Chains A and B, each alone.
Chain A
Amino acid sequence: MAAPIIEVRNLTKVFGTVVAVDNVSFSMEEKDFLVLLGPSGCGKTTVLRMIAGLEIPTAGEIYLKGRLVYSDEKGIFVPAREREVGLVFQSYALWPHMTVSENIAFGLKVKGMKAAAIEEKTAAITAYMQLDGLRNRYPQEMSGGQQQRVALARMLVSQPDIFLMDEPLSNLDAKLRLEMRAEIKNLHIQTGATTVYVTHDQVEGQTMASQVAVINNGILEQLSSPKTIYKRPANLFVADFIGSPAINLIEGATGAIDTEEGTTVSLERDFWKAATLYKNIQSGRDIIAAIRPENIAVVPEEGFNTIPATVKTVLPSGSETVLRVNQGDLTLSVLMTREVELFPGQHINLYLPPEHLLLFDKATGQLLNLPEKTN
């Protein structure tokens, strides 16, 4: 197997007393699209800037296309200008004293390319990014979306193998954001560049990524495919951070229950219990169970794995409806994709499918291992 395009080992960055990035390791193959996701201030930008060479790490190693560009141990630091990565800033960072053409041509001039070749390439890329009519404008004379295109064009024209993007869409309105999302995705497919994309919009992250890295307080909590992140969050932080409305968390203890599949682990609460697909967990262990709102079903009658509940609020929005229901001292969210005739105060039954109940250790917050065969 060829060397990974980007490899980061034990990367750490300390600002004064703040540990902005804490021992982060990951590697990316060709054509990977990695999204760094996490709350504000968690260190996403810092990771990106260290890969770009704009920030000197405190410790760790970075390899780009097999070349060691930073190592604390070996005392290697290759500055940004020699790393040949393309970077798009959240603010676009277009040069206000240069026209669109000049902005785009800069990277080619730096390389010492001939004027004619520069002209040709600039023309090609402006056409490609639909910036033809704007070539002689200054950045401040353009809309946010147009500026965004120029920033992308400026990066693309140097044909880097690695794209780094720091919240490139966060300054755009919702509609434009959708359009540009598709465009960036398309760019990725056409160029095949390995891309690291920072966002704190999880929908954006989920739709674009081939891999998602969830970061919290500088720590890489989980790195997996978007589907795994969603279905098998490694810990409570990831479970809670991903998904809207947020995942339902239910405190309880483990017990044993007999089902058609044999004896399985159950979630035990004071007045009810529910079967899960887990096996071989000691009874009486303190756990937190989690279930996504869309995985809970409202059923007409009591039965296997149902619990009684009372409707608190009904929040319809377009094709979906979010229910808030009370179950004893718990409040749960239920996401329904079909029309419902429910009203506050109504008593209903909720079905908790065993295959969707995840169990986390209460003390460590880590996901407990499910038996292999499921999903």
Chain B
Amino acid sequence: MPPSAARYALTPALGIRKRRDIKMFSRAKTYFRKPHIVISLILLVILLFIVIVPFGKMVKDSFVWQFADARLSRNSHPGELTLFHWKRVFAGPLTQNILIRPLYNSISTSLGVSVFAMVIGAFLAWLVARTDLPFKKIVASVAVLPYVIPSYIHALAWLNLFKNDRIGGVAGVFQYLTGISPPDWLSYGYLPIVATLSLHYFPFTFLLVSAALSSIDSRLEESGEILGASRTYILRRITFPLILPALLSSFILTFSRVLGTFGTPYFLGTPVRYYTLSTQIYSNIINRIPSVGYILAFVLIAISSTVIFVNQRMIGKGKSFVTIGGKGFRIKDMPLGSLRYPFLIAIIALFCAAVVLPFTLILWQTFTLYPDDYSIRHLTLLFWTGHANTAFAEGEAGILRNPAIIGAAWNSIKLALTASLLAGLLGIFIGYAVVKGRNTRLAFSVEQLSFLPYLVPGIAFGALYLALFSHRIGPLPALYGTFFLIVLVCVAKNLPFTGRAGITSMLQIGNELEEAAETLGARWSMRFRKIILPLSLQGAISGFILVFITVMRELSLIILLVTPETRTLTTMTFRYQEQGYTQFSSAISVLIIFIVVCGEAVSKKLEKRSPANR
């Protein structure tokens, strides 16, 4: 045996192991010197905490007796495991009422809205993108307005117009003008829900289909024309198949959004006991049967994630063929001939129904002295600027003088600002971590986790947070009732958008700009401040405004979480409406619309100014 081998054989195995440990340790140390690894790990912890943990807690709570359950069952032992709630939802005498009917209502309203919104939006998109419709530019920019304002505002306007005096409360404008009391099916339930939400959601399809149409090479259509195909034939056999993927996804995304909508079905459904899953979740939680609410939230999450998953599978396949022609080709307008003006008139009518009429109704309502008296004689500024007067609204002052409302307005603005800033910043970090760590499992997990909130409908997401944060968790105090919790939920819910935006802009920025700074000796903090942040801000601003607007009009997500100290404009609207002070709720809605439309205008302006590819 050569001497060195002999020495080796004498070394105890421990020595070898130790050396290997040192090597592993140093590998790990090197690994953690990459800033994006550290950031990914921090993000992972944050995401686990704001996405996964609430989910786990909700699952757990659904299997545990709650204190309030004593009212429902004599066998309840608070804190112990039970299948009681699951049985109650899925296999109890109340299943029909708790699950089946709301589920049916949710699906049927969502389907109805998706169909109408898709048809209206796609047709409008085609008119704007492919025909010689007059005033196309104006049409295109006004078309997004119904989507910008909160969805329940259409519901409030509908109530103003069509509510009848039989279901408790006062009559609407229709009855005031005609003297005819509208039937219940016109005032409440399926029809009004579908009608108002369709008017709210069609711009979504409009945007998606417009984008698809503008990316199709119109020469594909023209060559059909050259071959002598008729217009309808081209539309049916060439254009339609090409935009089919966009149509499908707008259908599915609308479907899942409507599923999670709370405000509209609450205002238009509950008065006639027409429940959807989202309102059923709300009322179960409000009535202190949270576990049942949680289980219904699971149902909602399951449906919504299934449809979104299906959509992504289909888009994955269809994508390649939408972009065949690429961009930048001249699009030839199809002459509408004698139908030009009839179409324009139809569009104007649509805008009246979706924007002008609701807004006028709401605005008018704010000036009416008595909720059911719409005459000019009795108009008043009381609800805007009036001093507190015990004769009206239980002595509440007009909204511009009312400290509670001004407080709520501040809360709203503070909430929207902090949430959009935080979500935007987190989005940039997510983009950084995902792009820098491309192809690693760590980056992949960050990306997937940040996308998860997208699958959870708003009301269910609120329920998740309620489940987790209503008690203290270890050293953390119960966050329920704090402003921070509301910020947290808004940030988490918007992460899928800001994360996506962050990834896109980081991909555009590329690695080398940061690496160049690194070789010049810049620390990570400096690279981030001087290079990454300024470069990604250019892309982040419009995303930031989008989140601001979204949070500003958010109701479904936060309705379960606000307390009197943390209430926002939207939840104030909701409370006033619930209590029948329609003038107040309308006035606050006008305020929200004002803020949101301003935000939209600012973002349009910025979009135009920022160079497309810098």
- A residues near B (Cβ < 8 Å) are 16, 52-54, 56, 72-77, 79-87, 89, 91, 93-97, 106-107, 110-111, 140, 154, 158
Contact = CB atoms under 8 A, between A and B. Distances in A.
Contacts of B521: 81-82, 84, 107, 110-111, 158
Given A79-B33, A89-B512, A93-B515, A106 B520 contact: yes
Contact of B515 (A54, A76, A106, A158): A54
A81 B519 contact: yes
A75 B534 contact: no
A93 B510 CA distance: 9
Contacts of B513: 93, 95
A94 B34 CA distance: 22
Contacts of A86: 519
A81 B522 CA distance: 6
A75 B522 CA distance: 23
A92 to B, nearest CB: 9
Contacts of B38: none
A91 B512 contact: yes
Given A85-B519, A110-B522, A111-B521, A96 B535 contact: yes
Contacts of A85: 519
A79 B519 contact: no
B61 to A, nearest CB: 42
B29 interface: yes
A93 B526 CA distance: 17
Nearest to B26: A75
A52 B614 contact: no
Nearest to A83: B519
**Overall SS of chain A's interface:** loop
Contacts of A93: 510, 512-513, 515-516
A3 B445 CA distance: 45
30 contacts: A53-B518, A56-B31, A72-B23, A74-B26, A75-B22, A75-B23, A77-B29, A79-B518, A80-B518, A81-B521, A81-B523, A82-B521, A83-B519, A87-B515, A89-B512, A89-B515, A89-B516, A91-B510, A91-B512, A93-B510, A93-B516, A95-B516, A96-B535, A96-B614, A106-B520, A110-B526, A111-B521, A140-B614, A154-B516, A158-B521
Nearest to B526: A110
Contacts of B520: 81, 106-107, 110, 154, 158
Contacts of A95: 513, 516-517, 531, 535
Given A81-B521, A89-B512, A95-B517, 4 more contacts: A75-B22, A75-B23, A83-B519, A96-B535
B104 interface: no
B22 A87 contact: no
Nearest to A96: B614
A47 to B, nearest CB: 15
Nearest 7 A/B pairs, CB to CB: A75-B26, A107-B520, A93-B512, A93-B516, A77-B30, A87-B519, A80-B518
B273 interface: no
Interface in B418-445: 439
A154 B519 CA distance: 11
Interface string B526-555: 100011001100100000000000000000
Contacts of A158: 520-521
Interface in B3-46: 22-23, 25-27, 29-31, 33-34
Nearest to B530: A106
Interface of B: 22-23, 25-27, 29-31, 33-34, 439, 510, 512-513, 515-523, 526, 530-531, 534-535, 538, 614
Nearest to B29: A75
Nearest to A82: B521
B83 to A, nearest CB: 46
A75 B25 contact: yes
A56 B34 CA distance: 9
Nearest to B520: A107
A158 B522 CA distance: 12
Contacts of A82: 521
B119 to A, nearest CB: 44
A93 B535 CA distance: 13
Nearest to A138: B614
A74 B27 CA distance: 10
A85 to B, nearest CB: 6
A77 B33 CA distance: 9
Given A73-B23, A75-B27, A77-B30, A97 B519 contact: no
A77 B531 CA distance: 24
A106 B518 contact: no
A93 B527 CA distance: 14
Q: Chain A CB within 10 Å — which of B518, B522, B531 has the most?
A: B518
B75 to A, nearest CB: 57
A47 B190 CA distance: 67
A93 B439 CA distance: 23
A73 B20 CA distance: 10
Contacts of B26: 74-76
Contacts of B534: 97
Nearest to A85: B519
Nearest to B22: A75
Contacts of B523: 81
A204 to B, nearest CB: 21
Contacts of B519: 52-54, 80-81, 83, 85-87
Nearest to A157: B520
Contacts of A94: 516
B521 to A, nearest CB: 5
Nearest to A57: B30
A219 to B, nearest CB: 24
A83 B522 CA distance: 11
Contacts of A79: 33, 518
A11 B530 CA distance: 33
A72 B19 CA distance: 12
Nearest to B509: A96
A16 B31 CA distance: 16
Contacts of A77: 29-30, 33
A297 B68 CA distance: 103
Nearest to B522: A110
Contact of A54 (B23, B27, B33, B518): B518
A246 B546 CA distance: 60
Contacts of B526: 110
Nearest to A164: B519
Contacts of B614: 96, 140
A174 B268 CA distance: 72
A324 B530 CA distance: 58
Nearest to B30: A77
A54 B523 CA distance: 13
Contacts of B33: 77, 79
Contacts of B515: 52, 54, 80, 87, 89, 93
B516 A56 contact: no
A89 B34 CA distance: 20
B507 to A, nearest CB: 14
B134 to A, nearest CB: 39
B536 to A, nearest CB: 11
Contacts of A89: 512, 515-516
Nearest to B614: A96
B518 A81 contact: yes
A16 B22 CA distance: 23
A81 B531 CA distance: 15
A75 B31 CA distance: 11
Contacts of A80: 515, 518-519
A83 B515 CA distance: 13
Contact of A106 (B22, B512, B522, B538): B522
A54 B34 CA distance: 10
B24 to A, nearest CB: 9
Nearest to A106: B520
Nearest to A79: B33
A75 B523 CA distance: 21
A254 B382 CA distance: 111
A96 B537 CA distance: 13
A158 B519 CA distance: 10
A86 B520 CA distance: 7
